[in-house]
Amino acid sequence: MRHLLKSTAMVIGLITISVTAPSFAAKTETYNQLNLFADVFERIRSQYVKEVDDEELIEAAINGMLTSLDPHSTYLNSKRYENMRVQTSGEFGGLGIEVTMDKGVVLVVSPMDDTPAFRAGVKAGDYITKIDGEQINGLTLNDAVDKMRGKAGTEIDLTIVRKGEKDVIEVTLERAVIEVKSVRHHIEDEIGYIRISSFTEKSTSGLRDALDEIKEELGENMQGLVLDLRNNPGGLLDQAVAVSNTFLDRGEIVSTRTRNDDNIQRYNAQKGDSIEGKSFVVLINGGSASASEIVAGALQDHERAVIVGTQSFGKGSVQTVMPLSTNGAMSLTTAYYFTPSGNSIQGEGIVPDVVVEQLSLNESEENQNRRTEASLRGSLANPNAGDADEEEATEGEDDDQNDENDEVSETDTETEDIRRLTTANDDYQLNFALNLIRGMSIARNN
């Protein structure tokens, strides 16, 4: 929906700012604040110890304004906007890691499967403190991402601090073309296994191809399916809806609500369960966030799947990527999303039906290490608590609602190695899920 707003323009130095004029008093206060900004801007230009670029100053001011709202709103210049579009649709030169900024350094959310970072043993929860010997402190997340990306075949040195390791880890990686292949699958006996590592434009088609191959090989012998969403940091909202729809016959999948509670958009399932009611388990953990939580929440609320693993990250907000006149864009938090039962998981996450820890961590370590959306500085409050955060920004166009991958700020501090997905023997949670399906299949046939 487009909203036409009456606005006035104020010229400050070399920049033009449009402001909405709802009332005389509010307009006067807005002008006073813009005059303050103009004063600071001009003093920096004329008196700072070295000459600074106007464009860089303005971009920094815009980004500061957005990042002050919540951890997921940010400004994307033309280069970063293009990088974001490439990541959700195609390929790029880089290392293959999902990252966020925490405590002034880069925190690894999760490595993508079969990438330089994956092969080098970079783990979820690692802190990257230096890039090519340069300290991360002082860099923005976007600056750090720009440094890690580059031409395929070039090398990069990372300095990593890992919890439980006394010494820093120095690793040299060779950048590669990162193809966003988000869906992988194999068969365990008579059970299909599908892993979705992120939600890109090709996730639903990849899921359907995987299901076709599994059903063709197993036929009527197929006992059930495991859908692995562990360490999946999210992605595109429409793909989360389409993946959920693949397994649901009817009902609501998710709803989104802007700051105006009357503006509710509902996404409903269409008839057609692709596995025809067979036993179904979804795996999640602390690295499962946003779009992956939408899928898990929908399947849980409709009692279509048993959710197994550990509590998810708890990112219950939607970001709209809005193109700007500078060929850049801004990623703005515009809505909360709600599961079919009407619950928001913001700051809370999805609680599994069956809690299963990985054997590599004991309970005390799990509780100590777990990081969530609620632990991020400036995170939004859960609207179900009755105090919906008034700092939510205005709505964008529904067709452009993307839960943006680059700027997702979730992590998995459970240090299990999900990356070697060859057999269930390597993975206690997966082994539990497979045994659960076998048990359900036996109960169904008796």
Active site residue 301: yes
DSSP state of 55: H
Beta bridge partners of 155: 174
Asked whether 402 and 320 are in contact (CB, 8 A), the reply is yes
Asked whether 131 and 157 are in contact (CB, 8 A), the reply is yes
Residue closest to 144 by CA, chosen among 191, 106, 89? 106
Residue closest to 96 by CA, chosen among 83, 112, 85? 112
Catalytically annotated residue among 70, 110, 315, 344? 315
Strands 15-20 and 169-174: unpaired
Residue closest to 382 by CA, chosen among 334, 349, 340? 349
Give, for 254, the enclosing helix (H) or strand (E): strand 252-257
CA end-to-end span of the chain: 53
Catalytically annotated residue among 70, 126, 301, 406? 301
The radius of gyration of the chain's CA atoms, rounded to the nearest angstrom, is 23
Active site residue 315: yes
Q: Helices (H), strands (E): how many in the chain?
A: 10, 21
Asked whether 242 and 221 are in contact (CB, 8 A), the reply is no
Catalytically annotated residue among 290, 292, 312, 344? 290
DSSP state of 305: S
Which residue is it, tokens 């909405």? 20
Catalytically active residues are: 290, 301, 315
